[in-house]
Structure 1
Amino acid sequence: MWKNKNFLLILGGTLIVDVGFWFGIIGNLEFLQQNIESSFYQSLFLIVGILMAVILAPLAGRIVDQAPKKNIIVLSSFVRIFAVFFMFAAIKTGSVWWMLLYNVFMGAAASFTMPAFQALLPLILEREQLLGANALLQNMMTVSRIAGTALAGFMLVKVSLFSLYLITLIAYIATFVCLTFLKVNEHKEEKASTTNKNRSRFKEVFPIFKAHPAIITPFLLVIVPYLFLAGFNLMIIEISELQNNPSIKGTLYMVEGAAVFLGSVILNRFLKQRAIVPVLLGAVTLVAISQLTLYFSTIHWMPFVSFALFGLTVGVYFPVSNTIFQVEVPQEFHGRFFSFKRMIESLMFPLFMIMTGYFLDTLGIQHMAVLYGGISLLLIVLYGWKVLRGNEDTRTMKVSALEASK
């Protein structure tokens, strides 16, 4: 895997583009604070990009299944470069409408990029390499999130908002250049896509769940980690205020990031011979426990325990679930499936974020922790009881089976 040039380019491209993305997020927040007082209106501008990704998901899925995936990834990278110039116009004029266009184009690029990346991995790697590759990509995204938010926050104190987006532009250009060097043999894919072009429909993704029941568990249980993930930043701010300790924010990010790496190590060394369903159920149970432990957020060290437990889940759950999808879903449906998956996650994220904000205001983090932990445990128990009584093959399939030769 480490000798695979294509994978190294994707790994490097993911790191650079994600750092640029988080620079853009921090820059957006700063620009909105300078130009819009209402928190409600600020949230509307931030959600626009997510809504665009949801709207374009059906079209993106069909195109990813029909067109060369490298071309889609490279073109999406160019769209990101183009979008940054709208932010330059926004900063120059002080108009939030230019920023709206920036978010629209960024959302459009994201709707194509992630499904294409997920569909490309099985084409450039051997099946037995997918689990490790997904774990590495998850770690890389964690590093970029921590580094991107920390660097952007530090730089805003030292440099102008324009300079921050200039660095973002340079990151996107570097990503574009890296990805143009991808060399992927997609001839077979292109031939199949041409044959099925006229009858390729987005709705064809739904029967896949019945035909491949192994994908149902990771697809549904993702609700639990997203319940935590969507309110991640809001909860960190709340804990910082609760303990009257601004410095705890950066430390919590680092603890969670380190736990993601540890989760990946545990997955690769100790969980490969375990059955997939218990591994996934165990991972989301850790999320429920991490939510419940937030009840003790007034105790200085307890939030570190909560975020470490969540980080362990991220390091295990997402690499396993992504590998299941890449292996179990037929390759000709990868684009549509991963677009549908991203569409659902894009809908969950703002919904859960708004819920978290509302409950933090009305209940406080301690009571919200009990509520979220209770909901998560109820979902885990109900679904776990059902799935463990279900199909024997699906229930007992081991993580190592994902690496077995076809």
Structure 2
Amino acid sequence: MWRNRNVWIVLAGEFIASLGLWMSIIANLEFMQAHVPSDFMKSLILFTGLLAGVLVGPLAGRVIDANKKKTILIYSGIGRLISVCFMFVALAFDSVAWMVMFAIFLQISAAFTLPALQALIPQIVAEKDLITLNGVNMNASTIARILGTAAAGSLLMVVDLYTLYMASFVAYVLLLLSTMMLRVDETQLDDKKKQHGAKGSFKEVIPMLKNMPVATMALIISIVPLLFIGAFNLMVINISEMHQSSQIKGALYAVEGICFIVAAFLVRRISGNGNLLNRLYLFSFMIAISQFMLLFADYAWVALASFGLFGFAAGCYFPLLSTYFQTTIPKEYHGRFFSFRSMIDRVMFQVVLLTVGLLLDTIGLQYMAGIFGALSLVLILISMLRFTQEKQVKTAASTEQAQ
């Protein structure tokens, strides 16, 4: 796998794209802090971009399945460049409206990029290498997030926002150039796949999932890590206030990030050759435990252990989940399915974020953690119960056929 030039191009592209993204995110926060005094308006601006990404999801899925993935990635890369140009206009006129345009174009580009990349990865490596590549790809994104935010924070002390956005623009140019270097043979689709890709409706994802209840169960338990991720930053702030320590913020981020990176590198060795769905249940259960541990967040070491356990479990969970969908969902549905999944993730993230804000104001971190932990266990148990029932139905059907 490591001799495959496409693998290195994808990893380099993910690192560069994430670096540019997080530098622009920090610049966005600085711009909004100077021009948008209302916290509600800030959240509304961010929500507008996410909503645009959700609305364009069905179109993105159909387009990805009907066209070459490399072509989609190139055009979405051009879309990222256009979005940064909107921010140059916003800076020139101190215009929040142009920043909203930036957010919309960036999220629309992401709505095409992420599903297309997920659909492309199985075409550049063998199935046995999918877990490894998915894990390393997530690590490239994580390391870029750490470096990008740190670099942007430091640069803001010595340069203006224009320079920061220019650095993001250069990163997206490099991403576009690296994408053009991909060599992927996408002409070997059979007639059935071409027909589905060209004429298939986005609505076909629903009956496809009904015929694959196991994939639906995996989607159900994918909500479990989102409960932690959506609350992540607000929980860090709350724990910091609880211990009256700003240092613990950095410690929580560091512990989670390090454990995530280590797990993503070791996920293939840890998971072995066992059933992927069983492994997903195991790491989902570990995430639920990390949520319950925050019942004792008034002990600093427990809070750190909770974030570390989540980082490790999530670092194993997400590469396995991507691999599971890439190998289970028929390839002619990949674009539409990964767009559908991206839409669910975006909507759930917003719901969790708003719910966390309400719960922290009303019942506090520890009770909220207990509720989220219990909800996670319920989701896991429901999924496992349906999985068991499905196995029994298949076994009974096989027995009848044999008789």
User: Could you tell me the TM-score, scaled by structure 1's length?
Assistant: 0.92
Match of 1:223 in 2: 223
Assess if the C-alpha contact under 8 Å between 2:88 and 2:162 holds in 1: yes
Q: CA deviation at 1:244?
A: 2.2
Q: Distance in 2 between matches of 1:117 and 1:393?
A: 35
How many angstroms apart in 1 are the aligned matches of 2:383 and 2:332?
A: 29
Amino acid at match of 1:301: W
* Aligned residues of 2:13 and 2:175 also touching (Cα < 8 A): yes
- 1:293–1:348 Cα change, 3 Å: same
Offset at residue 390 of structure 1 (A):
3.0
CA distance in 1 between counterparts of 2:139 and 2:197 reads 36
Check 1:30–1:9 CA distance in 2 against 1; reply closer, same or farther (3 A cut): same
Gapped regions of structure 2 (runs ≥ 5):
396-403
The equivalent residue for 1:280 is 280
Alpha-carbon distance in structure 1 between the residues aligned to 2:393 and 2:11: 33
Decide whether the 8 Å contact of 1:213 with 1:394 is kept in 2: no
The answer as to whether partners of 2:111 and 2:339 remain within 8 angstroms in 1 is yes
Q: How does 1:174-323 map to 2 (within 5 A)?
A: 174-189=174-189, 195-196=195-196, 199-323=199-323
1:129 aligns with 2:129: yes
Residue 382 to residue 204, structure 1, CA distance change in 2 (3 Å): closer
Structure 2 equivalent of residue 400 of structure 1? none
> Which shows bigger deviation, 294-303 or 97-106?
294-303
1: CA distance, partners of 2:184 / 2:20: 25
Q: Secondary structure at the match of 1:20?
A: helix
| Corresponding residue number in structure 1 for 2:82 | 82
User: Partner of 1:344 in structure 2?
Assistant: 344
Where 1:158 maps in the other structure, the secondary structure is coil
1:333 lines up with 2:325 in the alignment: no
SS in structure 2 of the partner of residue 359 of structure 1: helix
Structure 1: which 5+ runs fail to align?
A: 396-406
Tell me, in whole angstroms, the C-alpha distance in 2 between the residues paired with 1:157 and 1:83.
Answer: 24
Question: What does residue 402 of structure 1 align with?
Answer: none
CA distance in 2 between counterparts of 1:238 and 1:44 reads: 23
Residues 214 and 394 of structure 1 are in contact (CA less than 8 Å); yes or no, is this contact kept in structure 2?
no
How has the CA–CA distance of structure 1 residues 162 and 323 changed in structure 2, closer, same or farther, with 3 Å as cutoff?
Answer: same
- Aligned residues between the structures: 395
Q: How much identity, in percent, do the aligned residues show? A: 38
Tell me which residue corresponds to 2:400.
Answer: none
Offset, 1:227: 0.7
Name the structure 1 match of 2:99: 99
Contact 1:67 1:193 in 2 (8 A): no
**Structure 2 residue matching 1:61: 3-state secondary structure:** helix
Alignment TM-score, normalising by the size of structure 2:
0.92
Match of 1:404 in 2: none
- Following the alignment from structure 1 to structure 2, what is the Cα–Cα distance between the partners of residues 24 and 187? 36
CA drift at 1:311: 0.8
**What is aligned with 2:21?**
21
Contact 2:57–2:339 (Cα < 8 Å) also in 1: yes
Match of 1:403 in 2: none
CA deviations over 1:224-277 (Å, ceiling 9, x no partner): 100111121221122222222223223222211211133235532232233333
SS for the counterpart of 1:237 is helix
1:58 is displaced (CA, Å) by 0.6
Q: Which amino acid aligns with 2:178?
A: C
2:390 is paired with a residue whose SS is coil
Distance in 2 separating the partners of 1:307 and 1:155: 29
Change (3 A) 1:259 1:332: same
Alignment correspondent of 2:41: 41
How far does the alpha carbon of each residue in 1:101-139 deviate from its partner, in whole angstroms, 9 at most, with x for none?
Answer: 001100110010011101111111111111111111122
Asked whether 1:145 is paired with 2:145, we answer: yes
Cα deviations by residue, 1:67-98 (Å, 9 ceiling, x for unpaired): 11101101111111111111122122221101
- The code of the aligned residue for 2:154 comes to F
**Greater alpha carbon shift after TM alignment, 142-151 vs 160-169:** 142-151
Cα shift at 1:391: 1.3
